[in-house]
Amino acid sequence: MRTGGQRGPEIWIRGPVASAPPRRFSWVGAHGGSGVSTLAAVYGGQDCGRDWPGPADPPGVLLVGRTHAAGLDAVARALADFRDGGAPRGLGLEGVVLVADAPGRLPRPLARRVGEMETAVGVYRVPWVSAWRLGDLGGGPPRGTEPLARLTGASR
């Protein structure tokens, strides 16, 4: 118990505390067919295709690529472009989202490249989802993507 001095306001909260609204992101594809439209539909946010976000778009960028060799090359080039000032001012790279290009484990050389990328930037992995291939996006975020779902505010 304090005696003397100034007292601060006492705040009493009754009932549930409203959570902060989820952050919005701009999904940017490092290459065509990366999955930007699907991810924006499932996780929310702005689908920017292969373009950098414009002034009206959220400035937080999630860079998307597939896990095949050409996709990882494209992500590496886009990261270098971002690092070297090739992106518009005011954008922030929030992470890289790698979408599986096939079911199953990555071949060792590709897994090694992903591991190297993870040392430089936050990487979120999205597994192969057969239903997405058929256009069924209603199942919510897939298992194993909880960190990405938390980041984007998407619910399972």
- The model carries a pTM of 0.85
79-102 pLDDT, tens digit per residue, is 999 999 999 999 999 999 999 999
Per-residue pLDDT tens for 96-119? 999 999 999 999 999 999 999 999
Domain boundaries, given as residue ranges, for the chain: 26-152
Q: Tell me the C-alpha distance between 107 and 69, whole Å.
A: 10
